[in-house]
């Protein structure tokens, strides 16, 4: 791992660890605090823009929801922008875990960082070994 990748991962973890803690404790406003005021947010429901939509999304999630993330890729797009691509398991108390892929864009805000974009993708498992849609 090169220094730039390690630095990018440290920036990502600095935001994501706080987001995860808020999700795990069902603290929607705290989860939303890890986003920019004008963040574009796409969870598993229609998208929203801004912290109120993020807080409403996490408030609608059942108590007991937890998140475990793994950073798969990261890129520094500029001094003030870090892109992250993650695999996330959202676990529930009463149903199977949901595995998703998450793209986030972090933006430097003052001396800290916040998510400006959050885009979830749920991919079907490809059991054919080929490209999706291939025959």
* pLDDT tens-digit readout, 83-101: 999 999 999 999 999 999 9
Whether the per-residue pLDDT at 27 is higher than 80: the answer is yes
DSSP category for residue 62 = P
Alpha helices in the chain (DSSP H): 3-24, 28-32, 51-59
* 23 pLDDT more than 80: yes
| Nearest to 103, CA basis, from 126, 83, 129, 89 | 83
41: which strand partners? 48, 118
The SS3 of residue 115 is: strand
- Tell me the C-alpha distance between 106 and 39, whole Å: 10
Q: Which of 19-28, 96-105, 123-132 has the lowest mean pLDDT?
A: 123-132
3-121 belongs to CATH 3.10.450.50: yes
**SS3 state of residue 108:** strand
């Amino acid at each position: 791992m090169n220094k730039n990748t390690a630095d990018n991962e440290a920036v990502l973890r600095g935001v994501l660890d706080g987001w995860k803690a808020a999700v795990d404790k069902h603290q929607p406003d705290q989860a939303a605090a890890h986003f920019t005021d004008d963040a574009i947010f796409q969870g598993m429901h229609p998208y929203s823009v801004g912290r109120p939509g993020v807080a409403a999304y996490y408030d609608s999630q059942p108590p007991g929801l937890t998140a475990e993330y793994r950073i798969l890729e990261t890129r520094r797009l500029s001094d003030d922008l870090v892109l992250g691509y993650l695999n996330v398991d959202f676990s529930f108390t009463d149903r199977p875990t949901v595995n998703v892929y998450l793209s986030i864009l972090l933006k430097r805000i003052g001396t800290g960082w916040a998510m400006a974009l959050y885009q979830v993708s749920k991919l079907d498992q490809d059991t054919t070994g080929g490209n999706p849609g291939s025959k």
